[in-house]
Structure 1
Amino acid sequence: MALSARRLCHIAFHVPAGQPFARDLQRLFGFQPLAAREGDGWRQLALRSGDAIFLVNEGAGPGQPLYGLDSRHAVPSAANLCFDVDDAASAARALAARGCLMLVSPVSLRDAHGAATYTVVNSPVSNLSLTLLERSGYCGPFLPGFGPVPSEPGPNWVSHVDHLTLACTPGSSPILMRWFQDYLGFRHLPLSPGEDPMVGLEVSAGVGRGGLRLTALQTPVGSDVPTLVLAESLSGASSGKDQVEQFLDQNQGPGLQHVGLYTLDIMAATEGVAAAGGQLLTPPEAYYQQPGKEDQIRAAGQEPGRLASQGILLDGDQGKFLLQVFTKSLFPEDTFFLELIQRQGATGFGQGNIRALWQSVEDQAARYGLAG
């Protein structure tokens, strides 16, 4: 029987000392410091926006950062997903019995606010490890070993993590899907009627431009784990590298490409990010000039001009819509970006918008001489 993860605790990132990632999360995206720790050559800072928590591990000390491990990855990237479980030690034994590699045996920590136990296991995704955390009785600001950090109220643009997207090598999605099913209890979430889980949803970006294969996974009803989306490139691009292939090159393998952050007001969030200096991808002008696009936007209760001014994409029909906007990479390498997403009844991931996003990224790459 697969392990049942109850919720996502945090997403951990490893960055070099002095890298501005933590500062950018605060200044550009409204995250607020939650708790911090310094030790073993690491500075660890947990930041929060709504229920979304990012743990930034800065440095590369002789010891291990708490609640994870040093992957010694060549570029800054998302390094670890931490999930709450009922019993970390039992989970470790069960996974080890099924052949899962334990990277950190169960460790228990305690402070004045209670105790927590965690273990770290490998995943089938390159440098991305998984932490299983038991903290049901803990009532501190974050986790044992961390001290509180004074902060002022933030803009509250984000409520929670909507989804996690892993960039995968071509043909690997079925293998990854089976791993997350067998070990962590995920199950296939169809993105189209009658979808074959071994095939996923194929979204063509146009003749000679390749496209994406998307496979979505979710945990059983009652858990609070974001949807996991596996994304891989389709063959057929006539020239250059698409953004998934570029990620695989820059990240030196598969990994967490982006996090979808849910917002109740994407217009306010996007305007706030832009005003703070955050860099957003913009779709080509022709996107908003597609036949029926203006009517579709108005049917969703939105103003076409306002969406176009912020580069917000809209997909959906029959009264169910999805709005989304993407940032540029938050690292010098193209190894991680954010998505702001607002749902008006829609449950997909903007399949109809993929071509527009693809076009905007490819056009931008060509403009700066990055394609080919």
Structure 2
Amino acid sequence: MALTDSTSMKLPIENPGAEDFLPLLGTDHVELYVGNAKQAAHYYMSAWGFQPLAYAGLETGLKDRVSYVLQQDKIRLVLTAPLKPGGGLNRHIDRHGDGVKVIALWVDDARKSYEETVKRGARSYFEPKTLKDEHGEVVLSGIHTYGETVHVFVERGKYSGPFMPGYRAWDPHYQPTSTGLKYIDHMVGNVGWNEMNTWVDFYARVMGFAQLVSFDDKDISTEYTALMSKVMSNGNGRIKFPINEPAEGRKKSQIEEYIDFYNGAGVQHLALATDNIIQTVGALRDRGVDFLTVPPAYYEDVLDRVGEIDEDLAPLRDLGILIDRDDEGYLLQIFTKPILDRPTLFVEIIQRKGAKSFGKGNFKALFEAIEREQASRGTL
């Protein structure tokens, strides 16, 4: 949807167990704190096909930070870096490395969203505030979630500018072509030992979400490692948050590795949707994005497991794309290697052909691929 779109219409219910009292209309943007926003912006533009949208920094009156806003279809990334030593931004980057700080949620009423969540037990990040410029106004409010991750509620129905007040349009000569990414399908959070149910309860009690599915250590395990996961979703299904925690295994799981290097709970990966995963992954690979690979044997019997699909198997095998099926249809998915220096944040590319699940049939192959990468880093 366009930046100026707003709606109070009743959205279709996909998760009837959710109360959806906010309601949430979608993901407005994801903000990452990074060490060098200019260079990070170039990476996400060049490698991922994001387009320049807006900028804030010294030229717009900011003295302590700079932010570049990128967009590809409905996905918006904000990359923010400090301009001076000290302060919260530097502390966050020193502790966590580059990583997701803000998951911003698009709402019709940011004040109501704040009031409804805080009265249910959310810890305030900041109270509702209104930002204004010649293009209109945006209302923001925020609450804390797991680790140092926060949700910011964004009400932009009365705004027609490029992003929000305080930013100016950013229109450089370099305008890379899209790679076909459409929207954020889901975002996964990693939390510590025995914390998953705490945050599942948080999203149910504080935000009105309901559980879609759960996976235990029997579902997500290999010879060496295991984890547990529960997927929380709002009523219209536009926001899905799987929450992972470690489980006992013979060696250190990817969740433990993440928490060790991120120094706490945080966003593990963004799942970005496409309508043509073969074209998207091919374009990303050509631009330098590295993906996890699975053994060729995975494809020997995959069609026996998932049944007939529309795509030819050969390009899926060449690119390393995984396939899984549920009662609603099938999905295609692939995962990058960590996209940062620390083995923390990575990206999933997903194409849904009716399926509403998360690739349970691929867990073993995927996690063995992750373990091979962990072994190469000496962290397994």
Structure 2-normalised TM-score?
0.85
Query: Equivalents in 2 of 1:186, 1:141: separation in Å?
Result: 31
Q: Are 2:212 and 1:212 equivalent residues in the alignment? A: no
Q: Are 2:72 and 1:53 equivalent residues in the alignment? A: no
Query: Equivalents in 1 of 2:316, 2:52: separation in Å?
Result: 31
* C-alpha deviation, 1:19, in angstroms: 7.3
Q: Is the 8 A contact 1:60 1:70 kept in 2?
A: no
Task: From the superposition, tell whether residues 277 and 298 of structure 1 become closer, same or farther in structure 2 (CA, over 3 Å).
Answer: farther
Query: Equivalents in 2 of 1:45, 1:369: separation in Å?
Result: 32
Q: Are 2:42 and 1:23 equivalent residues in the alignment? A: yes
1:201-256 CA-to-partner distances (Å, cap 9, x unmatched) read 851323x32323221111113xx632111122221x223x2211111111111111
Alignment partner, residue 196 of structure 1: none
* C-alpha deviation, 1:303, in angstroms: 2.4
Q: Is the 8 A contact 2:231 2:242 kept in 1?
A: yes
Task: From the superposition, tell whether residues 78 and 317 of structure 1 become closer, same or farther in structure 2 (CA, over 3 Å).
Answer: closer
Residue 235 of structure 2 aligns with an amino acid whose one-letter code is P
Question: Please, which runs of 5 or more residues in structure 1 have no aligned partner?
Answer: 192-198
Task: From the superposition, tell whether residues 200 and 114 of structure 1 become closer, same or farther in structure 2 (CA, over 3 Å).
Answer: farther
Q: Are 2:103 and 1:81 equivalent residues in the alignment? A: yes
Range 293-302 or range 134-143, more displaced: 293-302
Q: Are 2:191 and 1:172 equivalent residues in the alignment? A: no
Matches within 5 A, 1:330-349: 330-349=339-358
Q: Are 2:168 and 1:147 equivalent residues in the alignment? A: yes
* C-alpha deviation, 1:186, in angstroms: 1.2
Q: Is the 8 A contact 1:297 1:303 kept in 2?
A: no
Q: Is the 8 A contact 1:297 1:304 kept in 2?
A: no
Q: Is the 8 A contact 1:76 1:331 kept in 2?
A: yes
Query: Equivalents in 2 of 1:319, 1:94: separation in Å?
Result: 34
Give the alignment's Cα RMSD to 1 decimal: 2.4
Structure 1-normalised TM-score?
0.87
Percent identity reads 25
Which structure 1 residue ranges, 4+ long, deviate > 4 Å from structure 2? 60-64, 199-202, 294-298
Matches within 5 A, 1:1-372: 3-17=22-36, 20-38=39-57, 39-59=62-82, 61=84, 70=89, 72-73=91-92, 74=95, 75-123=97-145, 125-150=146-171, 152=175, 154-190=177-213, 202-206=218-222, 208-221=223-236, 225-235=238-248, 237-239=249-251, 241-289=252-300, 292-296=301-305, 299-316=308-325, 320-366=329-375, 368-372=376-380
Q: Is the 8 A contact 1:21 1:330 kept in 2?
A: no
1:148-200 CA-to-partner distances (Å, cap 9, x unmatched) read 11163632511111011111223212110111112222111136xxxxxxx76
What is the SS of the residue equivalent to 2:181?
Answer: coil
Query: Equivalents in 1 of 2:234, 2:90: separation in Å?
Result: 26
Question: Please, which runs of 5 or more residues in structure 2 have no aligned partner?
Answer: 1-18
